[in-house]
């Protein structure tokens, strides 16, 4: 068992070690929506969730946690950001004799935007849409009563009016419960995949990455003023290491705490802490991101509430979270508000 844990940990860490020199390159990754967290429970705890993942939201945070529930589950999450930007996420999972399988979808969208051009100052009368989309398939299994492993394959699409880019990525995760005070160690590598590149054919000749706009025929094909070559960009690969534990537990009431180190390919590390207190059927949550390497807001606190409602059809978990957005936030109303609903049946 110990050998299995060590091998899994090495598999997860290898890509991080190979690409470690890229981590300080702030602002160099695209498809940033992949970094937007889901589920009001996790966000209310400051996103310190890698070691706590134990339900359907694991398909995003740590796929290893999906195997910890043996019933079918569903999740719907909606986030309202500033500037009328919205983020919606849904997932469904089922448990089989061979482990847990989950399906998920993520969509970042906004109302139609008004087109302006260099030739005509102001609105041209045309509107266009921008959206980001991801769809994932997750597999997770418990190899022992203490250790679980999972992975997710994702299709990614980013669309800007008539231009779009498509790609794929993978998530890997492990969870190990020590068996004492419910102390759990979690690791997750998210968004590991190849670089992406837009394929733009502005002159509609069926070709891309041709001569630049220099009025010269550099490739001797008899054509000039063609599409310039697009530069590829990384996706936001992210590695998280977390630990959680029971600080208090009596029957079904408890207080759990979590600490996490989070490192992404286009920024320095961020520390995250979170608490969840359950009494009867109600939850109170608090947490914060702690950024020690930026001149911007170093603390980004978040808070949350939850309520579990058992019914004859399913067990419902309704959650709400409020998270601050640093300098982007003008008032409490322009913070990120998130609601989510989970069902176990």
| Domain region containing 164 | 2-114+125-200+211-344
Q: Is residue 285 part of a domain?
A: yes
How far is residue 67's CA from residue 295's CA, in Å, rounded to a whole number?
40
CATH of the domain at 170: 2.40.160.40
How far is residue 328's CA from residue 313's CA, in Å, rounded to a whole number?
41
Q: Is residue 259 part of a domain?
A: yes
More confident residue, 198 or 69: 69
| Predicted confidence band of residue 1 (pLDDT cuts 50, 70, 90) | low
The contacts of residue 175 (CB under 8 Å, 6+ apart) are 51, 53, 62, 64, 65, 68, 147, 148, 149, 184, 185, 186
Q: Is residue 97 part of a domain?
A: yes
Q: What is the mean pLDDT of residues 204-215?
A: 62
Tell me the percentage of the chain whose pLDDT exceeds 70: 79
Q: Is residue 282 part of a domain?
A: yes
Q: Are 154 and 136 spatial neighbours (Cβ–Cβ below 8 Å)? A: yes
pLDDT tens track for 152-197: 999 999 998 888 899 999 999 999 999 999 999 999 999 999 999 8
**DSSP state for residue 272 in the 8-state scheme:** E
Q: What is the mean pLDDT of residues 57-86?
A: 94
Q: What is the mean pLDDT of residues 313-338?
A: 82
Q: Is residue 59 part of a domain?
A: yes
Q: Is residue 290 part of a domain?
A: yes
Q: What is the mean pLDDT of residues 76-101?
A: 94
Q: Report the predicted TM-score, pTM, of the whole model to 2 decimal places.
A: 0.86
Q: Is residue 291 part of a domain?
A: yes
CA dihedral (230, 266, 135, 77) in degrees, to 10, reads: -130
Q: Is residue 119 part of a domain?
A: no
How far is residue 269's CA from residue 24's CA, in Å, rounded to a whole number?
9
Identify the weakest region by mean pLDDT among 54-63, 201-210, 271-280, 298-307.
201-210
Q: Are 42 and 57 spatial neighbours (Cβ–Cβ below 8 Å)? A: yes
| Predicted confidence band of residue 207 (pLDDT cuts 50, 70, 90) | low
What is the total count of domains within the chain? 1
Tell me the percentage of the chain whose pLDDT exceeds 90: 61
């Amino acid at each position: 068992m110990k050998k299995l844990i060590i091998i899994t940990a090495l598999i997860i860490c290898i890509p991080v070690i190979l690409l470690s020199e890229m981590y300080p390159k702030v602002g160099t990754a695209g498809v940033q929506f992949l970094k937007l967290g889901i589920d009001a429970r996790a966000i209310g705890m400051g996103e310190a969730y890698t070691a706590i993942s134990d339900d359907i939201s694991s398909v995003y945070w740590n796929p290893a946690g999906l195997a910890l529930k043996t019933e079918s589950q569903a999740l719907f999450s909606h986030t309202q950001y500033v500037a009328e930007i919205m983020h919606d996420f849904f997932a469904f999972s089922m448990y089989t004799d061979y482990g847990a399988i989950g399906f998920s979808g993520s969509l970042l969208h906004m109302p139609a935007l008004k087109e302006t051009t260099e030739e005509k100052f102001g609105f041209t009368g045309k509107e266009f849409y921008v959206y980001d989309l991801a769809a994932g398939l997750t597999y997770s299994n418990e190899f022992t009563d203490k250790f679980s492993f999972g992975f997710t394959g994702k299709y990614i699409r980013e669309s800007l009016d008539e231009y779009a880019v498509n790609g794929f990525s993978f998530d890997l995760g492990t969870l190990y419960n020590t068996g004492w005070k419910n102390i759990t160690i979690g690791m997750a590598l998210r968004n590991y995949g190849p670089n992406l590149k837009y394929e733009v054919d502005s002159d509609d000749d069926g070709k891309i990455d041709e001569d630049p706009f220099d009025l010269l025929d550099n490739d001797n094909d008899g054509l000039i003023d063609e599409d310039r070559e697009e530069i590829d960009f990384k996706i936001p690969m992210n590695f998280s290491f977390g630990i959680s534990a029971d600080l208090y537990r009596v029957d079904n009431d408890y207080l759990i705490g979590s600490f996490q180190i989070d490192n992404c390919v286009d920024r320095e590390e961020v520390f995250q802490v979170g608490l969840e207190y359950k009494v009867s059927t109600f939850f109170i949550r608090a947490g914060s991101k702690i950024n020690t390497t930026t001149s911007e807001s170093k603390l980004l606190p978040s808070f949350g509430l939850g309520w579990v409602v058992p019914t004859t059809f399913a067990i419902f978990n309704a959650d709400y979270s409020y998270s601050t957005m640093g300098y982007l936030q003008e008032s409490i109303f322009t913070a990120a508000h998130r609601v989510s609903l989970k069902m176990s049946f």
